Structures are given as C-alpha cells and as structure tokens.
Chains A and B, each alone.
Chain A
Amino acid sequence: MSTPSVTPSESQSAPPASGAKPEILRRSEHTVEIVSDSGEGAQKCGQIFGAVSAKMGNGVWTVEIIPAEIQPPARSPAGASGNRIRIGTHTVTNWGDRANVVVAFNEQVLLARHRLEALAEDAIIFLEDMWEKHEDEQVRAEWQAALQELSRARYRIIRVPMEEICLTVVDEARKGKNMFVLGLLCTVFQRDMARVKAQIEHQFRTKSNEVRERNIALVELGVRWAEEHLPFRIEVPPTESDRPMVVMNGNEAVGMGAMAAGMDFMAMYPITPATSVSHYLAEAFHKMGGVVHQAEDEIAAAGCAIGASFAGKVAFTVTSGPGLALKTEFIGLATMTETPLVVVDVQRGGPSTGLPTKVEQADLLAALFGQPGDAPKVIIAPATIEECFHSMITARRIAEAFRCVVMVLTDANLATGVQPFPRPKLDPRWQVRQPDQRPVPKDTRPYEWDARSGLSRRFIPGQPEGMFVATGLSHDEASRVSYVAATNALGLKMRSRKMAVLSETLRPPEVRGDATGDLLVVGWGSTKGAIEEAVDRARAKGLKVSSTHLTFLAPMQPGLKEIFGRFRKVMTVEINHSDEPNDPFITKENRRLGQLCWLLRAHTLVDVDCWSRCYGEPLRPDHILGGIERMFTKGEKR
C-alpha cells in the first residue's frame, strides 16, 4: 500500500467556520500513533481505537510501542510508550512505514518517533501544548529546542491544550488525557461512538461505574474539542464482512488456540513478552478444565510440563529468549524421553536479557541447536495472529504423533499486535484423540522403535503392563540405561528418523509472485505481511521479485533447492543480526549471516544472501523494499 498524506498547512488548527462541513479526506489506509510517557494510558487509547476500528470492519494491525524499562524517566525520548494502529479498508498485514497522524502527550516522546523516522513527511501531529508555558525553565527550553528540531520537517502540528481541558472533568489530567485523545481521534476518523462507549465499558469492566462514566465524559470532551477546532475528517471506509470476526493479539491467540487444541496444562514463569499468554489463560483455562501453573523458575516450568505430558496430559510451556536458554536441559530431556511437549517461544531482542519488550527473530538457531547432543525437534513459525491460534492445534498433533518437542516461534510483534481475523470454527476433532491406554501387550517395550520410522507407542503411567522408568540417560528400547555404543547410536538414529518421516509429509512452500525471476525473498514468522507488501511494491516498479514464507523451519519444507534454482538470487529478510557486507573487516568468508540464511545455505547449498535489521521494532515495508533494490544494484550473480 502506498503512504497517503494529508495536505500540510498551518501549525495551528483553524476552527471550522460556523455551520461549515469539515473536509473529508478519503484514504484507503492510514496509520495513527499515540505516544506518551509510560503510565499515561496511550496504549489503552490505542487498543480501544484499534478494537473499535476492527469491529467496524476495517483491516487493522496494531503494534505497541513499549519502552525497554518499566518506569522510564518522564519526558524522555527513550521513555516513549504508546501504540501504532494501521487501519485500512482491506486486510492490513503489518504496521506499515510511517505514521500519518500522531498524538503526542509531550514533545520529547514525539521527538523520539521523529528521530526514528517513524512519521510521514506530512504527518498531522496533535501535540499537548502545556509544556510551552511550564513553570520549569528547563522544560520550556526543551520544548523550544524540540519544536526547532521538528520544524525542519513538513509536519502539520496542531497544538491541543489536553491538560487544561481534561482538568475540567478530572483532578489529575495524567489519568484522563488518553480518553480525551480517544474522543479526538474517533471524531477525526469518524468512528462509531456507540461502539467506542461499548468498548470502554468492556475495557474497564473491572472498574467502578464512576471510572467508566468519567472516561466516557472525557471521550465526549475530546469529541467536542475536535468538532469545534478541526476542519477536516479522515475517512477510511470499512469493508463489510460476511464472516464473524474476532479481534485479539498473538498471545491471546496462542492461549485460545491451546484451549481449542484440548490442552490440559500450561506451566510457565513470567517473562516479557510471553507472560500475557498466562494472564489470558489464568482467566479462561480453568473453565475448560485446564490448569495454569506458575512455576518457581523457567526450568521448573519446563519440568512440570514434561511431567504432566508424561502422565498423559496435553501440556505446553511458554517462554521467551532468556527463558528458552534456561529450559535447554529439560527440552533435551523431553527429546530423550520422547515425551510430547509444545514449547512456545515469544522471541524478543537478545542476547542475555537484551531487549525485553522489543521484537527480534533471533532464537531460531538456539531453538534448533540449543541442546547439547543431538536433539531433533520440530520448529514451526506462525506468521499472523490467526496462525498463532491455529498453529497450536497442529503443534499438539505433531508432538503427540511423533512423541517429540514442537517449538512454536512467535515474537513480540505478534504477541502484542492486534489484528482481526475470521472467528475460528471450533472443531471437536482438534481435541478428540487421547493417548491409547489399553493394556500394553505383554513384552512390548516403551521405545519399541519402528525400524523404518523411528516411531513407537507412547505409554502412560498406570497403564496396565506399561510400567517403565523414563530416563534422560542413553537407553535401549526397554528404557534400560545403556552405555553400549550401538544402543546409543540406535536411539540417536531413531529420534532423528522421526524428523525425516515428518519431512516426508510436508509440502513445498508456495511462491508468491512469478515462479521464476531475478530475486526470491524468503522470510519466516511475523515479517510475512511486511515482506509481501514490499515485494508487491517492488513488482509494481517492474522488478522481477517473488517471495516465499517458511512455516516449518525444522524439518524444512521440501523442494527449497529446486525453488531457489528458479531465481537468479535468493535473499532472506529477517529481524536478527547479520553483518553488513561493506563494514570494516567483513569479508564474504567471515560475514555472519541472518539465522534463516545460515540454515538455508546449509540445507540447500545455494549461495543465499540476507538482509536483516534489528532495530527493536517490526520491519517496515519501505525498508525491506530498500533492501530488495540494493540487492538489484549489487549486480552480483550466483
């Protein structure tokens, strides 16, 4: 999608002439950002605006702008907290390039977004102006300097006395500006006010009536201010859908998917950005007979999930990068004991504690190779919030069918992003299969591997004739500890063989665009929407580019080498680190590549290149487009 703009003009809002109808600016899509200090409620405002837009039938993708610290200093660029909401007439698959409309609660958080080039050249900015005449001289100076810096851009800045107006309703404006801004934005974008009020009722359902009424009063203030001062409205027409839609973020979708898959047990230890899966499940899981267990640490959480699964339950655990590192040993145990286990890793910036609230796709290799010894496992990566839901059903089935670990790699972008998607039609068959607990035929062994497939029947404790001692040590088919070389080799071979069997059932990935061309862009996970938008733009410019998006990363989907062979160049696009080819000391030999790029090169022996960024935010289509164009200008041939 292109980036539409509103004609920039004066820096002060011109009140509409009495009785004059505001100008309607019709757009196929628009991106809104609301930024404030942490704790001022910009995120809540954005969530409500996004949810209302989705319920009205607009395509929506929201991304939370979260500072890395829980309570960063007020009025600091690093503390910018808020929400970006991209709304469109049709489906929106990513957060877009630059914001067209911005609401900033102070000039410092606005500056942060400006410096990140997050704003469109002609963005309309609603800026709280209380800082201009602030009693603190330093604040006034910062305001002046910031406006000076911002004046170099062509933004249309509209000053709004948010504090002053909100104080007519609340004693502490800091707690009310977000609702005022919601009213303002909903007027500009002509949102259905009945839905807005209903959404407020829902969002604040656990609060008192007084709180809800005050919030609605603040929204109405925002509406009135916008009606009196803004001579324009922005219209992003929604599309009627004949299917009922649901609106949620990726973590909620994972939790809901787990319930739909018939999972019984989730063990976790709180870690950003994965924790909200457990928050969601803690509210809902018990109603379906499920249990959420907050363990004492990450290792224990993995252990509890393995134990529950060993006992015949359908269990999973959720974590993020540093937690995945801690779970390493137990994931190895699940692999060795062939205990079905689903591990959801909501990736964030790393290494170590890294960037807890920011997105990266940097756990792929750790997920695949993190265990000492050979620990084959299945890795799948949902690309959308809808896939976060559905991937849990497939993950459960594969984990049980293959008695293996299935890792579902999502990321902070999916975890906190909100997108509407068709309401899943629940199918009882997703959860109908249970472990077979008939008496085990005499002399059947717990790891009686099928010589061809490596598969064996799963025993559940208490099953007649099914008693055995599970061990993480090398063992034979009867689960007896054995250090005999041939026994160890057989176990390794059988566990690996299962991956080959699964691989045999996979289908090659689809290619979006022409089947042949100059460049194939390969992605995985949450970047799908941005990559496809960038590739579409490149194709619109006449470039012969196609894309493919991998869902199964271990085992890899088949046919990749053949698909790659149809393109002059192949390039991965990822949110993880890769060395820039022209940086000091970087040579073709020592260049460190994107994680999927490493894997694809090893897997296909094709000279795959990569373009990756890890700014701590989702990729923007225009940045990817820049990467694609650069690949063309390099003019290298494989």
Chain B
Amino acid sequence: MQSDDRVSRTLKELAGPISSFRSALASAVEDVRGILSTWRSAQSDSGEQRRAELGCFAAGRIDVERFATLLAVEEAVDAATVARLEGIFDLLSDLADQKDGVVRVKVEPGAVLRDAVAAALGRIGRAFGAARVVGLSRSHRYEDSLHQRFLREYPYALWSSSERQIAPPLVVEVAGQDLRAEGLAEFLDGRQKIVLVAQGKCPPAPLARLVSPGVFVVQAAEPVALAAFAAYQGPGIAALVPESAALFTHDPQAGARSWDRLKVARLPQEDAVIRLEGLSASWQRECLRQLQEIATAPPAPAPAAAGAASNGPAGAQVERLAAWLLKRADLQGL
C-alpha cells in the first residue's frame, strides 16, 4: 500500500495533540534520567543522597549523618532495579526518537483494522506501562511475573483515565474495503483521536455507527477539515474518504440534540452503493439510513386540536400547567 500525502497533511493538522504527547514523553525521559542518576549516586554516596532528600531548608539545621544513622534509613536500591530503570530509559528514549512514526500505522490489506489499532495503542502504551513500572520499582512493588509485560505491550484496556487524556492521536492508513470502524468504539475514550486514511473505494458511511453524544466524528475528503476535530478536548474518530462516500461532521459541542450536532455535507444515493468485499450493499445502505435518521430533526408536534384548546377553563389551565412544566424542564420545544 502506497502512502499518500494526506497522511503528512493530517499529521500537520494534529500537530497540537501530538506535540502534547511528545512533550509528556520527553518529560518522562527526563524524570527517569533524574531518578536513575539519583539511584546511581545513592549507590556510591548515600550521605549526599540523604542530604539532598531533606532539601535546602535542612542545611545547617539538621545533622544529616545523624538523621540517617538514627533513622536507619531504607535499603539502597539494588542493581537489578537500576538495570530495569536503564531499560525503561532506553525504551522511552526510543519512543521519543520515533517522532511522528510513533503515531502512524499502516494496516496491511486484508488485516483487521481493530487489531492493528489495538496493537499500535499497545505499543504507544508502553510509555505509560514504563511509567507504571517506575512507580512500582520506587515503592518496591515490582514483580517480574506481573509487571515485565507492561514494557512489551501495554494494552489500551489498562490505560488509566489520566493516560487516556494525554493519549496521542493515531493516523491509520487502511485499504477502503478493510475500513470496518465499529470495532474501534472501545478506543474512543479520554482524548483519544483516530484518523483513518482510506485508500481506494470504501463503504459510504463507515463511521455512522460510531456517532454518539460525546464523540467527535468526521468523514471528510481532505485533512484541512480536521481543525475542529483536532482541537476538541474529547475522543474523536475521523475518516478521509473518497468521493463515493458521505461527508459529515458530528461535533459534540454543536448542540444538545443529534440533529444539531450532525451536519451532513454530502450523502451518496443509496442505489449507487455496491457490495464491497465482505460488506453487503444492504448493510452499507443501512449505515447511510442511520446517518440520515440521526441528522434529521423530528417533525414539529402537530398543533393541538381546536376543540382541545377551547376545552373550557379547566382545559386551558391544564394546557398552561403543561406548558409551564415543560418550560421548567427545558423541554418547551417538544
């Protein structure tokens, strides 16, 4: 599969969130460097270590040697822990060195999109896994049998809510016929963004079934349409699709109702839809209908019958009460 320039343009549009992740990564590298240097120096000069731990305020006020002796301070860090931390330092440095490569994924034709994304997030997650192993090592809770795997792969399912907030966007090149996005729903959490760059013919509304109130969903022809998507402080999925597909934007901030949030710019004719490998035409048409359904405001309620409105003073009171209650519940538009 050849790469196209939409990928590099997409990466430019997503420069903000990518840069946030990379700066978190760079800062993690520095943190580990600091801890490593501390542990190494503690092995050679524990007095200096204790002095430093007490801070400048203690200088001249606390006898550090005596403090250490009386407290019989905790054991020094063992060589295995230092070696583990060195491995983590290398891993984080390697992730940091990959630059944009860390957020790019190419799905081999015929492969399962969901699995490719899961694997890529698992690789990125090693940064979080590494941070967790550092924390476990510092508190002496690390166990090889339980925690070593975090450094090989740290699946999305294990990511904490904070980690999901700083997750980098993923730019995925995928053959159009393999664009089965429903399986990606589980990754749309925190601020996770996924952009699918479809190559070749694809279903007309592959993301329709992912539209939900808090998720930014876009089908667009060009990366330039992703600016609002990139700026959104929540999860999102986008697909860059060919001319045969629908173009729409579901912006969670655009309103309370689905038809306020969802704007459809282009909707292919249903009868133009043809079967793609493994996807029947009727299934694809169903996606289009779903898109249409949630983008359309329901018809306004019919005005009350004349007889009901003039149903005597009691009827008018009921009407007024109902209107008041609806207004109180912010439902007067129904």
Contact = CB atoms under 8 A, between A and B. Distances in A.
Contact of B139 (A398, A430, A437, A501): A437
Contact of A436 (B38, B60, B72, B140): B140
Contacts of A433: 53, 74, 138
A185 to B, nearest CB: 35
Nearest to A401: B71
A430 B138 contact: no
A394 B58 contact: yes
Interface string B157-176: 00000100000000000000
Interface residues of B, number: 32
A26 interface: no
Interface stretch (B62-70, B98-106, B286-294): B62-70
Interface string A423-447: 0100111101111111000000000
B93 interface: no
Interface stretch (B29-37, B113-121, B219-227, B236-244): B29-37
A390 B59 CA distance: 10
A429 B139 contact: no
B56 A390 contact: yes
Interface string B175-187: 0000000000000
B57 A382 contact: yes
A430 B31 CA distance: 12
B135 interface: yes
A504 interface: yes
Among A390, A427, A432, A463: residue with most chain B CB under 10 A: A432
Contact of A432 (B38, B64, B162): B38
A506 B139 contact: no
Contact of B61 (A261, A463, A506): A506
Contacts of B140: 434, 436-438
A560 B25 CA distance: 51
Contact of B35 (A380, A428, A455): A428
A565 interface: no
A241 to B, nearest CB: 18
B139 A504 contact: no
A42 to B, nearest CB: 34
Contacts of B38: 428-429, 432
B55 A436 contact: no
A506 B35 contact: no
A460 B71 CA distance: 19
Interface string B256-276: 000000000000000000000
A557 interface: yes
B143 to A, nearest CB: 10
B309 interface: no
Given A289-B162, A393-B57, A428-B34, A505 B135 contact: no
B141 interface: yes
Contact of A434 (B37, B52, B54, B135): B135
B71 A455 contact: yes
Contact of A394 (B37, B55, B71, B139): B55
Interface string A496-535: 0000010011110110000000000000000000000000
A277 to B, nearest CB: 17
A428 B33 CA distance: 9
A551 interface: yes
A28 interface: no
Interface string A280-299: 00000000010000000000
A74 to B, nearest CB: 41
Interface in B58-111: 58, 60-64, 66-67, 70-74
- Chain A binding site: helix, strand, loop or mixed by DSSP? loop
Contacts of B66: 504-505
A510 B138 CA distance: 37
A238 to B, nearest CB: 25
A559 to B, nearest CB: 12
A312 interface: yes
Given A455-B71, A504-B70, A427 B52 contact: yes
B62 A506 contact: yes
A507 B63 contact: yes
A64 to B, nearest CB: 25
A453 interface: yes
A435 B57 contact: no
Among B55, B135, B138, B139: residue with most chain A CB under 10 A: B55
A394 B54 contact: yes
A132 to B, nearest CB: 53
B57 A391 contact: yes
Given A433-B74, A507-B63, A387 B139 contact: no
Among A424, A428, A453, A506: residue with most chain B CB under 10 A: A428
B233 interface: no
Interface string B117-132: 0000000000000000
Contacts of B37: 428
Contact of B138 (A434, A455, A501): A434
Contacts of A557: 61
Interface string A237-261: 0000000000000000000000001
Contact of A453 (B57, B70, B74): B70
Interface string A521-563: 0000000000000000000000000000001100001000000
B141 A438 contact: yes
A509 B62 CA distance: 10
Interface string A449-466: 000010100001001000
Given A428-B37, A435-B139, A390 B70 contact: no
Nearest to A436: B140
A397 interface: yes
A453 B71 CA distance: 8
B138 A432 contact: yes
A380 to B, nearest CB: 8
Interface string A378-395: 001010000100110110
Among B57, B73, B141: residue with most chain A CB under 10 A: B57
A507 B61 CA distance: 5
A453 B60 CA distance: 23
B31 A510 contact: no
Given A434-B138, A437-B140, A505 B70 contact: yes
Contacts of A551: 57, 61
Interface string B139-151: 1110000000000
A398 B67 CA distance: 10
B35 A390 contact: no
B28 to A, nearest CB: 11
A436 B61 CA distance: 27
B139 A434 contact: yes
Nearest to A387: B57
Nearest to B32: A428
Contact of B62 (A289, A387, A390, A507): A507
A397 B55 contact: yes
26 contacts: A380-B57, A390-B55, A393-B55, A394-B57, A397-B55, A397-B58, A398-B54, A427-B55, A428-B34, A430-B53, A430-B55, A432-B39, A433-B53, A433-B74, A434-B138, A434-B140, A437-B140, A453-B71, A455-B71, A501-B71, A504-B66, A505-B62, A505-B70, A507-B60, A551-B57, A552-B61
Given A382-B57, A398-B54, A463-B141, 14 more contacts: A390-B56, A393-B55, A394-B57, A397-B55, A427-B52, A428-B37, A430-B52, A432-B39, A432-B53, A453-B70, A504-B70, A505-B63, A509-B61, A510-B60
Interface of A: 261, 289, 312, 380, 382, 387, 390-391, 393-394, 397-398, 401, 424, 427-430, 432-438, 453, 455, 460, 463, 501, 504-507, 509-510, 551-552, 557
**Minimum-distance CB pairs A-B, first 7:** A393-B55, A428-B34, A390-B57, A429-B52, A434-B138, A434-B139, A438-B140
